[in-house]
Amino acid sequence: MNEPVSGCPMSGATSEGWDHFRPFEHIGMTEFFAGKRAEQPVFWDDGLQCWIVTRRDDVREVLSNADRFSAENVHDPITPFPPELVAYLSQNRFTREKTQANCDRPKHTRIRKSAQAFLNMRNFRALEPRVRELTLVAIDQIKGKPRVDLVDDFAYELPARVIFQLLGVPEIEARQIKVWADSRFNMISGTATFEEKMEAGRQMIDFWTFCENIVAERLENPGEDYPSHLLAIHKQDPDVLSINEIKNLIFGILLAGHETTTNSIGTTMHFLLTNRDQWQQIVDDPSLIPNAVEEGLRIGPPVVAWRRKAKEDVELGGVSIPAGAPLLMSIASANRDEGHYDGPDAFDVTRENARDHVSFGYGWHFCLGAPLARLELKVVLEELTRAFPNMALVPDQDPSWQKTILVRGPGTLLVDLNEGA
């Protein structure tokens, strides 16, 4: 087993340590949660006004128990939107509604069944040649450059281009989609100012209009893509899936279907290159790549926390939680629970139980896109190790980790490709 990773986005506490939860920070998070798992695995945070859940078993219990915990607050803003923003969104027909991640049964079951009929392993496997082709195109664009930003120059747009294959939309919109998604996440779970929230609102209307146009176009010209699949279900029985729910499903996949994969590529590459022996292992033995993907997801989850609300009075981790209380499950902490993982702070591409993480959720809301994300990450590592086996992380850089309480990834990752080495 390797030593705990250096340069970890959630490791390396200051000498003083943390005396309270700091949801937007990175340095010191690993040590803080290790202490909480041992001494106070479920605790109240005054700043967020919610209960924080840190142990793996408790996180899995909350995520899997739909009768006791509601998902309705998953996408609620951390701080309430200003009235001006609420009015602006309403005036511009922003008819967002709870559909998948943030709704409960029976609505969730009905919608998930419709989505899963298209978002499944059969269709994802059929997409692999195109995923590899897009990855090779992205690699060709950085070849010959001695130093690149692996996030902005490679990983930023690539997953969005993959999602476009499911939607049947032009790839030229990739960077704009990414900007819209980044703005949305900061708006909901980041530290956006009033001005930034208002600007994000304007971008959301553009984003929503883009999704509406996709649905309108498929109504006129159906194809073999995800929107057309959903519209066929609606045409057969409008009670199974409404037009507005379809718009929301398109909005949702364009929001989260690529952001997490971009974060996973950046974070996993950061760990691999920080622990250079681990990178060398997958260069020398590509059969380790699928497990390296799982270890990257475990130790550096793209979604570091998720939310629920207690439907009734419950006891969790020895703590009594009242009905209606909000909870924040720390995925980052659960994935490093020493009760389940040996040496949980070490990055090890040969770890036997790496796949046991909860980075894609657990239970009834398990991520439908998990197989596609795993496929993309596998292809990316296969092609990057083949093209740039001597790649090295530029030392002493600031990765500019995202400062939101839910999603996490490096904003930049400078590497030397060392093609001639």
Residues contacting residue 244 through CB under 8 Å, at least 6 positions apart: 95, 97
Segment 46-51 shows an average pLDDT of 92
User: pLDDT band at residue 13, thresholds of 50, 70 and 90?
Assistant: very low
Residue spans per domain, the chain: 29-416
Give the tens place of pLDDT for each residue, 379-405: 999 999 999 999 999 999 999 888 888
Tokens (6 digits) for 392: 């090295």
Burial 258-295 (b: 16+ CB within 10 A, else e): bbbbbbbbbbbbbbbbbbeebbebbbeeeebbbbbbbb
Crossing angle of the two packed helices 194-220 and 226-236, in degrees rounded to 10: 70
Which pairs from 215-218 meet CB under 8 Å and 24+ separation? 215/243, 215/246, 215/247, 215/250, 218/168
Q: Report pLDDT for 171.
A: 62
pLDDT, position 372:
95
pLDDT tens profile 330-380: 999 999 999 999 999 999 999 999 999 999 999 889 999 999 999 999 999
- In the chain, what is the straight-line distance between the N-terminal and C-terminal CA atoms, in Å? 29
Residue type at 117 in one-letter notation: A
Q: Strand pairing partners for 69?
A: 310
- Label the pairing between strands 50-53 and 326-330: parallel
Residue 173 pLDDT level (bands cut at 50, 70, 90): low
Other CB atoms within 10 A of residue 213 CB:
12
The per-type count for the chain, helices as H runs and strands as E runs, is 16, 10
Q: Which fold has domain 29-416?
A: Cytochrome p450 (1.10.630)
| Poorest-pLDDT segment among 55-69, 141-155, 180-194, 277-291 | 180-194
Nearest one of 191, 187, 208, 210 to 199, comparing CA atoms: 187
Judge whether residue 14 has pLDDT over 50.
no
Structure tokens at 304: 């570091």
The whole-chain average pLDDT of the chain stands at 90
Q: Where are the alpha helices (DSSP H) in 221-288?
A: 226-236, 243-256, 259-274, 276-284
Model pLDDT, residue 421: 66
Torsion angles phi and psi, residue 250, rounded to 5: -65, -45
The token pair at 6 is 């250096």
The token pair that represents 209 in the structure block: 């209009």
Question: Given this model, what pLDDT does residue 265 score?
Answer: 97
Q: Give the whole-angstrom CA distance, residue 270 versus residue 262.
A: 12
At residue 172, the pLDDT reads 60
Q: Show the tokens assigned to 76.
A: 């609620």
Which residue reads 């690539």 in tokens? 158
